[in-house]
Structure 1
Amino acid sequence: MREFKAVDYKAQHFGWTVDNKVATLTLNRPEKKNPLTFDSYGELRDLLNNLAYAKDVKAIVLTGAGGNFCSGGDVHEIIGPLIKMDMPGLLEFTRMTGDVVKAMRTAPQPIIAAIDGVCAGAGTMLACGSDIRLGTARSKVAFLFVRVGLAGADMGACTLLPRLIGMSRAAELLYTGRAMPGSEAERIGFYSSLHAPEDVLAAAVALAKNLADGPTFGHAMTKKMLWQEWSAALGECIEAEAQAQAICMQTKDFERAYHAFATKKSPVFEGD
């Protein structure tokens, strides 16, 4: 039977530690607020898929270094190259990012996100893909896709977010791309609880240890059934969003947003 020894895994693009059946995955590019790259997306997907075969990990904590969770995809390392890609390349990318969320859902271990500071763009979808989210009052959650000329549909956002916080609230966040403060995120149920910035990671680890010490086969079954019964069509939704996002990445508005960011100006969108 296949086995993956998580304790021996050497991560290349983020921090990874395993202690007493709890793995902590730390996005650790703090100088840029922990953005994702092509390589980190791919490594996240592959590691999460391998965790189905890990006997030494029973719960996972996902967090970010330096007082922020994740600022999304790296503007220059991802968005810059994307505006030069053809449709097959764009679709390959959007499918890969969606595969990260699907891997989070199919990993048998409960995933607890400890969120402080910036949680934006793809970072919000790592949060949505987690089973439980703990936050801080000072954190800011922003589904920024519309701010760069794209659809709010990304990595399963249009199926996951409404089911976490309700259709109307999700629609408002996805249409506007505004930053939601931590107090609001907790009030509407996006966060399970709020903690002081210096305590949120410890709280997530404590919860993960509690789960890891529990009936982990039962936890894995609970997780499977929660998503099988609640979101049976998630894979189809993610595929549809991958196609929609790849189409949006060919618009002039997407390119305008990148050039505006590069010149530190506000983008002016024209809807083409």
Structure 2
Amino acid sequence: MTGLSSTSGVTTEFDDAIAVVSLARPDRLNALNRDVLAQLLAALREVADRRDIRALVLTGEGSSFSSGLDLDSGLIDSGDPDPVAGSQAALQAGVDIIRTMRDMSQPVIAAVRGHAIGAGFAITAAADIRFIAADARFSAPFLRLGVTVGDLGLSWTLPRIIGQSRAAHLLYSAGTMTAEDAVNSGFAPHVSESPLDESLDFAKNLAGWPPYGVEHSKRLLDSARETTLRAHLDSEARAQVIGTLTEPAKAAMKAALARDSRKGA
């Protein structure tokens, strides 16, 4: 890895066309306070703005991905004269993190070990794909804490990944999803021996594809959540036609035709 940048709570490393952003408070299980949220948002925005970066791996240092919001850090001040407005302002960086992850052209790959709790769970759910260790645990303790299950988009993303019924059961029970549960529900493709290594390999593979196809595939997968099949077919057709006009696509098709002609000879 090269191009390391580090703050007290987040590190960013670059390896050719890959960025690795790590939550870096392992002594606090990467709990998210105001500073960490601001640093993570800044790191994601830096990656989003770099056209030479083609994929992002998001992970946590130490034994866990993130234990969620740091409730001891004063993130939410009950003594605020307008606690609702004050809390919303404090959490705006978290909201912007999720928006940035979904709006950036680069696919976001979450490498998860240990606990991903609350807001940490929500961040993993906002990734494009997750590679998880056998000890991964995704927890949603919101109702136990007297608050709603709507945290950083989790009540929107989770039902779309694992289904409405499974999501409702997990969230209403303030439960925990094990690694096995995550695989069985489609939250992750399988259990990984080394989630970070597999995430890096996956990211490098993505970075090797022509950029137009990867970027617009992310857009199509996202838009499919909110559109009709009829409208989506039109979007796919337009993106496909435009893609065939790009130079990398022309070169790839020419190479494929050449291989086919050699096989037929």
**TM-score interval for Structure 1 and Structure 2 normalised by the shorter chain:** 0.7 to 0.9
**Superposition misfits of 4+ residues, deviation over 4 angstroms:** 6-12
Unpaired segments ≥5 residues, structure 2: 228-265
- 1:21–1:59 CA contact under 8 A, matched in 2: yes
Distance 1:8 1:180 in 2: 33
Structure 2 residue 30 is matched with structure 1 residue 70: no
RMSD over equivalenced CA pairs, Å: 1.9
- Structure 1 position 27, deviation (Å): 0.9
- Structure 1 position 57, deviation (Å): 1.2
* TM-score between both structures, scaled by the size of structure 2: 0.79
Aligned match of 1:138: 135
| One-letter code aligned to 2:40 | L
Structure 2 residue 10 is matched with structure 1 residue 14: yes
- 2:64–2:116 CA contact under 8 A, matched in 1: yes
CA deviations 1:98-150 (Å, max 9, x no partner) are: 11101100011111111111111111111011000011222111022222211
Unpaired segments ≥5 residues, structure 1: 1-5, 233-272
1:59–1:11 CA distance, 2 compared to 1 (3 A): farther
Pick which of 113-122 and 216-225 moved more. Answer: 216-225
1:224–1:9 CA distance, 2 compared to 1 (3 A): farther
- 1:7–1:56 CA contact under 8 A, matched in 2: no
Aligned match of 1:84: 79
Distance 2:21 2:177 in 1: 24
- Percent identical: 31
Distance 1:163 1:119 in 2: 18
Q: Which has the higher contact order (CA 8 A, sep 6+)?
A: 1
- Structure 1 position 225, deviation (Å): 2.3
Structure 2 residue 127 is matched with structure 1 residue 121: no
CA deviations 1:140-168 (Å, max 9, x no partner) are: 11022222211001111111110000001
Q: Which has the larger radius of gyration?
A: 2
Distance 1:231 1:78 in 2: 36
| One-letter code aligned to 1:83 | S
Distance 1:10 1:34 in 2: 15
Aligned match of 2:101: 104
Structure 2 residue 223 is matched with structure 1 residue 228: yes
